[in-house]
Amino acid sequence: MAFAGWLRRAPKPDRAEVAALKDGLRAHLALGAEDEITVSEIACPACGPDAVETVALVMRRGEGTVALKSPHPLHDLASRPDLLATFGRDEALHGR
């Protein structure tokens, strides 16, 4: 029953790691104080049975929301700023 694997919940990420990743992305993307960012770790069944990827939604004031995706887990991204460059625009979400 492969579908049931998609329904599994990943453990909640550590708040300090989420904050570190947001701060790193804010600096990497040169976001202003009025811009918002959210990060989520999601299952990636296409990548492997227990694989996860990280999605960031970037909301710049006066612009549309942009989804960025990285093939790395949130923990790795928060602890290794060199991986921030792996975030790329998720064309599937934007249709472009």
Q: What's residue 1's pLDDT?
A: 44
For the chain, domains (ranges, CATH) are 11-94 (3.10.450)
Q: What is the CA radius of gyration of the chain?
A: 14
Print pLDDT tens along the chain (96 aa). Answer: 455 555 555 567 789 999 999 999 999 999 999 999 999 988 888 878 778 899 999 999 999 899 999 999 999 998 998 998 888 876 554 444
Q: pLDDT by residue (tens digit) across 41-68? A: 888 888 787 788 999 999 999 998 999 9
80 SS3 class: coil
What is the predicted pLDDT for the residue at 46?
81
